[in-house]
Structure formats: structure tokens, C-alpha cells
Structure 1
Amino acid sequence: MSLGTAGARAARTADPAEPGGDAALAAAVALPPRAERAERAEAAADRLRTAAVDAVAVTWVDNAGITRVKAVPVGGLVHTAEWGIGTAPCFDVFLADDASTTSPIIGGPTGDLRLYPDLDRLVPLAAQPGWAWAPGDRHTQAGGPHPGCQRLFARRTEAAAAARGLSLKAGIEVEWVVALDGPPQEAPRYPTHGPAYGMHRLTDLSDYLRDVLRALDHQGLDVLQIHPEYSPGQFEVSVAPEGPVGAADTSVLVRHTIRAVSARHGLRVSFAPVVEPGAVGNGGHLHLSLWRDGRNLGHGGPGPHGLTAEAEGFLAGVLDALPALLVLGCSSPAGYLRLVPQHWAGAYQCWGLENREAALRLVTGSTGERAAAANAEVKCFDASANPYLAVGGVIAAGLAGLERRGTLPPEFTGDPAAAEPGTVPRLPQGPAEAIAAYERSAVLREALGEPLYQAVLAVRRAEAEQYASAGPEQLVAATRWRY
């Protein structure tokens, strides 16, 4: 099977009955047998009752980057695992403010889907006693994969990499601003005014941050670091890398946990790209590394800074696709207020070793641990993104670059903003530019499949039109507390 064929199949809903259909890709998105699901759910429900859990929240993330939820009592978990929970397909064309649009394939009031919890990720919520959480996959009433399901899209692209003998490790940094509670229209009032990255902030909110760490640990997440960030009231937490779909799941769980801990402390949080106009915003940086047979392909090769040819080709594909990938990784129009030079946001379409102004930052790690630590960071993404679309889109772009044996252009080692004008291309500076790049991308269109591609496009166009006349203050106020 050629890389191109695998990439195309990864984007579409595979049908195991289709002549020539790829069984591995079909298996990646297929439901296990109903009896198996019921047996596992029954055992899981017993464990949850022992842990004094009464209900399970099952989430999915829509194309506007909003996490939606259906919940069931623990007593209904077995039935839910067998038959799913009803969800309307129109959520695929919801906007961040709960308005809706339509697309040529998905939209309108007609139809229904079934939301199935992934029992492998089922976990009691440490900051919400009596509750558990699981991410969900959406299927049709007949049991087939819903072609608009973003999580199944990410699973298909991960399976396409596996079909080539490749695996990926990924992690998504979570940045947030914490504020005193207040009415929805109110700008943030901060519980700490310490300096950027300062110990002052950690001291002011040490009990709160300790409870965030405890909750994440109780939920089985391996926290690498937590620290104050640049903007007022801003913090960041990083967790250990895992598979791409797992990393997207974890980013949803981390944000949900931070929000729950904050509520218990009488605080509220924003993961929005920009919380105050002109300030450094919240990123959702994606780290990833490519592996084959247990070897990190970002280390020990003949390419730049030890990249193997496969890793270089993969990253060349990602770099080339970044203007279009912003539609998936920077979904809110407010994200372009964050994506500006000299804010470490990655506003330029270039790459460089440890260059925090480059959209694609190569990280080799310390001498002695590079074989395990070498990775690349996509810095231009933010937390308005649906993380499943972000990781799936990057994998699809990377596999396309690998197929065409791409090579990276010369790296940029300084501040791109200080270069001669026109030397380093800027990434799109607004939704219209990113949408145009997305519409030109045959790779993403084929990877997403027509239903999901069109639904994403419809949402981006609708939100771009919705805020076309809004100034920075209006745009930030409209999106600040939606994420």
C-alpha cells in the first residue's frame, strides 16, 4: 500500500465491507462487539460504584472547539456502552456562541447519532466527587462511524501512520488565565498580580495549584511541570507524552480538571486565545515525535540537528501545511489577536532549533536524553482548537510530506520580525487568509473526508462573518469565557 493511498484512506470512514477497504483503518474506527462492550461496562460500573461515583460525563469536542457533554447515571453505563447516547449531528455546525450554521452535508434539525464512551479512558473525576468522565466516539444509528466525528478522524490518521510502521508521541501544553469569579460579561480580576514566571504568583495561589496537581495525579496523569506564565493570572501545565488521540483526550481532561478545581476555589478560568487585548494569549502548543521500532526518528539521523529522512519529511509536510492547518489549530477569530510577532506565538512560517518565534520549533532535549526527548513543537496553535482535529490534521500533513520525501528549508535562527521584509513568510493574519489556504489544501480535504471538511469550513466561515466588524475589545469580550 502506498503512502498516498494510506493517507487518503486515513481521512475517510473506512468500511470493512468495501472492496479493497483497509482492515486496519476500518478497525481503528469500528465499535467492538456489543457483548464485549457490555461486559466491560458492567465491570467498569462496579468499580465506579466502589469509588462512590454516581454519574459519567461523556464528552466530544465540536468544530468550534467547544467541549459538549451528555451524562448518564452509573446504572445506565452498560446500556450506554451497548447502544450509545443520542446526539444530534447539527452540533458539527455549532459556533462557539451556540449559534449554528449549516454545511452541504451536515446541518439542520434532522437525524441522530449515537455517542459511545471510550471505556479505556474512563476515570473518576478527582475535583468532582461522584462523577467520572470518558471521551466519546460518535457513530450512526446503524453502528457505522460518523464521518463527521473528529475523534474518529484522529484515530484514522494515527492508524494510517501505524500502517507504515510508524508511531507518534504527542503532548498538548495547556495554558490558562485564572480570575476571581464574576458575571459573564466582566473582564478578569486577578487573584495574583505577581511578575511573569514569578515565584510571587505560585506563593499567592499555592493551595490552588497544589489542588490542581493532586487532582491530575489522582486521575492518573503524569505531570511534567506547572508554572506561572507571562500574562497576568496565567499558568501552564505540561503532561507526559502519549499517543496522539490519547494526548487530545488528556488535553480535554486537563482543562476540565483545572476548571473544576478553580470552581471549588471560587475562581474561574479562561483558555481563550486572548483574555485581554494586547496581552500575550493562551497557546495550545502541540509537541510530537515520530518513532519506528522503538527509535525516535528525530535523533541520530543525517539531517538537520540529527533528524532522520523520515522525520525531516514529516516535519516538512507540517511546515508547508501550516497556513491551512490554522483552520484546525487556531479555530477562533480571536486566535489571530494572539498570533502576532514577538509574543512567542509562532507567527512566522519557519522552523528553527529552540526558536520560540518560529511556528515550528525543533527541540532536541539535553545531551544524554535526546534519543528519548527530541521532538517538534507546533507553536501557532491555541486552545480554541478541537484537539482531535489539530493532531489529526498535523499527522495527515506530516504523512503527505513523508510520502513526497520533503526536506526542510534553511532554518531561521533569530527573530523573524527583525529580518528583511519578505524574507520569512507570515502565517495568515486573519480567518479569511487561513480559510483560503484550507480551501487550497488537497491534503486536508482528502484527509478529513468531505462531510467533516465541509462542516469545519462552514463553521469557520460563519464565525469569520460573525466577527468581521468587531474590534479587538469586542472580539475578546465575546470569546473570553467561551473557552
Structure 2
Amino acid sequence: MNGDVAMLSWCDLTGLVRCRSVLQDQLSAAGRYGVGWPSAGQAILPFGTVADNPWGPLDEVRQVPVGANAMLAARDGWPMFNMVLTRSIDRDGRPWDCCPRSFCEAALGALRQETGWTMLSAFEFEFTRLGEPEVSARPVYTLDAFRTSAKFFDAAVFALREAGLDPQTVEPEFGAGQLEIACGPAAGMAGPDRAVMIREVLREVARRQDVRITFAPKPAPNEVGNGQHVHFSFIDAAGKPVLYDRDSPALISPLASSFVAGIMRHMSAICAIAAPAPVSYLRLGPHHWSCGYGSFGLQNREAAIRVCPPASRDETDRARAINLEFRPPDGLCNPYLLIGMLAYAGLSGIRDKLPLPPMVDRDPADLSDEERRSLSIAPLPASLLEALDALANDTEARSWMPPLLHDAFQSVKRSEIAAVQDKSPEELCAIYRNIY
């Protein structure tokens, strides 16, 4: 085939990217009509089995390209990598109710219609190199650790730039063999689109270098966890930043304060989307620098939402640089579901004119129970089952998702829990480390 293949790709409810491929010269036809995919494919678990679903072997959707792709040229004996993102449409040509991308598009559209805001988002990607004692043994955050992975970093930056994905920072992280790459913000749907493509481009770079990496939130029970934090801000219809308010104690505007408060109100439900696997809850917790409580703070890395203040003294630069960071997500989440839920939750806070949440300037785990109650700080769900129950019982949050999407997500995730319920933490980490 000489590498002349386009991989029509979509991110499913387990955070894995599924695909069907067509020859490059057939891509134009696929762009018009898409490719068929069984609806029940949305119920495939990470382990290859299928959860209970309403479709069975009969229903089918079409995967239609959306105009976003990541392409890497053929080199070093590897064929071209051409990942073409798609959305799911039903037999009548309408967005499928169980399509995460369409859900996100509707959420961002509602935010824009009611506020005039466009959401900008950017993701940080933490991942771990596996099976390389020399890499894992280097002191963390050091130049030595960086140079040990210099060939990978160099290839990753080249590939991300080649694919138009705007790499910004690359660095060794706190864990043994742990690396982090962050890319620049993108507006609207380009943000989660970019997140899906970046993960797959990094996997392709690793394949081409014969390097094993994992985005699993806990490579092993006693190792540092991998997160996939999302940074976000907003611009108005004229492209002007609207997050910043220099007179606010949190440096964010009243409407942005209400947006944050909406997320805080629905934090437990959103965790089902952000930390969507049983292994995710080995990472979340107090003193992990990943957050264990639903709290808000200025530059507080144990807060679930933190304000990342700008360094510049120029007010124009400060307005453009400031952003909010949501810290519970990991690399198993579906970026479309995550951004969609954040948009709907924030919009609900704006509608209800919620006030700025209490700001916490300490690790919430170091507060007394009484102090946490006075600040309305509650622990995050301790398990995926607890998070799924929170989503199911949060009437408003559940209503944001089409019933078909909510019920399919619940079925897939509860089946995933059942499949690994007898596994030890070591076995659980090994399973997800090898899949993701």
C-alpha cells in the first residue's frame, strides 16, 4: 500500500481511538459519505468485550470526516501516518446521540450562544517510558533526565509541529521515567480535537523509536501518577480575553467566577468523565499533587481547579496569559466528553449567578473537618463506582448528556468495573498500563 492510507478515527467512551482506514484516493468519497461502523462498537470495553447495549448487531452509524487531521510523512521505513478525525451520524444524517464529539460541539455552542464566549483549551500530557532502567534511574527534573530522553523529545516536537499541533513545553517529570509535553491552546472544537490527535502522534513517535510509553494514570501502585490536566480560558466574539479581572482576589471576572462555581457544584459527577477508569482512583487522592478534594485556589496544585496567574506586569499580556486549570483528568478520559461537561457545568453556574467559590491557600487535606465544611470542600469520589453514582444522581449534570449517551457510558463503565473487580492493585495497573 506504500503507506497511502487514511485512518478515519474517533475517540470512544473508553478514551481509546478506534479507526477504519481507506486508501488515500478514496478519502474524498469517505468525506462525503463516511464509513460504516456498528453502533454497538460504542460499547466495546478496553479489554475487547462488549457491554450491554441497545443496538446489538443491527444498527449502524456513519463515521464522517470533520476536516481535522494529523499527518506525519513516511520515513525510516515507517509508512505515512494520516489520522483523520470523524464524527458519528445516524442513518438520517443527523448527529448521533451517542457521539462524544457532537456532545461537545453542542455544549460549546450553548456556551457561545448564551455568553458570546469561545472556550480555549489546552492539555498537558504526562506519560511514562516503560522497561528502560537507565531512563527510570535518572534524578527527576534534571538536565540529565532530559538528555536521557532527548531523542524522544526531539522526534516528538518535530512530529507535533509537522502535524500542526503546536508543542510548547517538553520536560522530564517527577516520576521515574515520567515525561510531560504540553501544547498550545486552541479555540472551540479544535481544543479537544488537538488533544485526541496529540496522544496518538506521541504513540506513533514511540513506535517509530521502539520506545514503550503509557498514559495510564498509575503505571504501578507505588509510582507517580500520570495526569492530563486541562487549561482553559475564554475570548469574546471580537477575540478579546474575558477571564481576567485584576481587582478580583482570584484575578478572574464575575462571570468566570460563576463558571468555576458551576464546575465546583458538579465536581463529583464530572469526575466520572475526567477520571473514567477503576485505576484512575489510585492516582486521585490527598498529597498526590493531583487533588483529592473538590477545592478552588490560586496557584494551588492540590486544588481541583486552580487559577494559573500570569507572570507579566503588562495588563494586556496578563489578560491573555491567565487561565484556569482543571486537575482531576487523566489520559484515559475522552477529551470531548470532558470539555463538554466543563462547558455545561460552567454555563449552569453563570445561569444561576453563583458566587466565587471559597479560595484555599493550603492543601485541603491539611485542614480540619470543620475547616473543610466551612469552605464547602468535599472529598472527590474514592472510586469510579462512586463517581458514576454521582453522575447518575446529579439530575442537572445527567440532563446535559443525551439519554442514549449517558446510559451507554454508564453501561460501559460499570461493565469495566465488573471486569476488573477481583484484580489486585498491581494487576489493575498492569492491565491499564499495557492498554493505554
Change (3 A) 1:118 1:239: same
Match of residue 223, structure 2, among 279, 284, 287 = 279
Identify which of 360, 380, 383 aligns with 2:331: 383
**Partner residue of 1:197?**
141
Out of 1, 4, 29, the residue aligned to residue 79 of structure 1 is: 29
Shift of 1:296: 2.3
Q: Is 1:93 the counterpart of 2:43 in the alignment?
A: yes
Deviation at 1:392, TM superposition (A): 0.6
Residue 304 of structure 2 is matched in structure 1 by 359
Letter in 1 for 2:160: L
Secondary structure of the residue aligned to 1:372 is helix
1:232-260, CA deviations, whole angstroms, 9 ceiling, x for partnerless residues?
11111111101242121111211111111
Output the amino acid matched with 2:52: T
Aligned 8 A contact 1:285 1:382 in 2: yes
Aligned to 2:84: 134
CA contact (8 A) 2:118 2:188 kept: no
1:264 matched to 2:214? The reply is no
TM score, norm. by length of structure 1:
0.84
SS in 2 for 1:296: coil
Secondary structure of residue in 2 paired with 1:224: strand
| Cα-to-partner distance string for 1:148-173 (whole Å, 9 max, x where unaligned) | 00011111111111212111110111
Aligned to 2:268: 323
Q: Tell which deviates more after alignment, 150-159 or 304-313.
A: 304-313
Opposite residue 318 of structure 1, the aligned amino acid is I
One-letter amino acid matched to 1:471:
S
Structure 1 counterpart of 2:119: 168
Paired residues, number: 423
Judge conservation of contact 2:33–2:64 (CA < 8 Å) in 1: yes
Residues 143-292 of structure 1 mapped to structure 2, 5 A cutoff: 143-164=93-114, 165-180=116-131, 191-292=135-236
The alignment status of 1:340 with 2:285, answered yes or no, reads yes
After TM superposition, give the deviation of residue 308 of structure 1 in Å.
1.3
Q: How far is the alpha carbon of 1:295 from its aligned partner?
A: 3.0
Whether the 8 Å contact between 1:190 and 1:232 is mirrored in structure 2 is: no
CA contact (8 A) 1:177 1:270 kept: yes
Q: Which residue of 2 aligns with 1:404?
A: 352
Output the amino acid matched with 2:137: H
Gaps of 5+ in 1: 1-48, 181-187
Distance 2:225 2:386 in 1: 21
Question: Which one-letter code corresponds to 1:90 in the other structure?
Answer: A
Q: How far apart are residue 314 of structure 1 and its match? A: 0.6
Q: Deviations over 1:120-147 (max 9, x none)?
A: x134224754231111101112211111
> Any residues of structure 2 matched to 1:98-137 within 5 Å, and which?
98-103=48-53, 106-119=54-67, 121-126=68-73, 129-137=79-87
CA distance in 1, matches of 2:224, 2:305: 19
Q: Aligned to 1:269, what secondary structure does the other structure show? A: strand
Secondary structure at the aligned position of 2:203 is classed as helix
Change (3 A) 1:359 1:158: same
CA RMSD of aligned residues (A): 1.8
Q: Is the 8 A contact 2:275 2:384 kept in 1?
A: no
Identity %: 28
Secondary structure in structure 2 of the residue aligned to 1:114? strand
Q: CA deviation at 1:301?
A: 6.0
Query: What corresponds to 1:469 in structure 2?
Result: 422
2:370 pairs with 1:419: no
Residue 244 (structure 2) aligned to one of 287, 299, 317: 299
- What SS class does the counterpart of residue 163 from structure 1 fall into? helix
Q: Is the 8 A contact 2:176 2:224 kept in 1?
A: no
Runs of 4+ aligned residues of structure 1 deviating over 6 Å after TM superposition are none
Alignment deviations for residues 195-230 of structure 1 (CA, whole Å, 9 cap, x no partner):
121211111121121011111111112211010111
Q: Does 1:479 align with 2:432?
A: yes
Deviation at 1:190, TM superposition (A): 5.9
Once structures 1 and 2 are overlaid, which stretch shifts more, 406-415 or 145-154? Answer: 406-415
CA deviation after TM superposition for structure 1 residue 459, in Å: 1.3
How far apart, CA to CA, are the structure 1 residues paired with 2:334 and 2:73?
24
The whole-number CA distance in structure 2 between the counterparts of 1:192 and 1:279 is: 11
Q: TM-score, normalised by structure 2?
A: 0.93
Q: Structure 1 residue 441 and structure 2 residue 394: aligned?
A: yes
The secondary structure found in structure 2 opposite 1:334 is helix
Matched with 1:453 is 406
Q: Which amino acid aligns with 1:342?
A: H
Q: Residues 90-149 of structure 1, C-alpha deviation per residue, up to 9 Å, x if partnerless? A: 12212111211124xx44222111101122x13422475423111110111221111100
Matched, 1:429 2:382: yes
Please give the per-residue CA displacement for 1:407-432, whole angstroms capped at 9, x wherever unaligned: 13211101111111352321001112
Task: Assess if the C-alpha contact under 8 Å between 1:323 and 1:438 holds in 2.
Answer: yes
1:235 is paired with a residue whose SS is strand
- Does the Cα contact within 8 Å between 2:135 and 2:145 map onto a contact in 1? no
Give the conservation status (yes or no) of the 8 Å contact 1:226–1:238. Answer: yes
CA deviations on 1:427-447 (whole Å, 9 max, x unpaired) are 001112111210122232221
Distance 1:155 1:60, change over 3 A: same
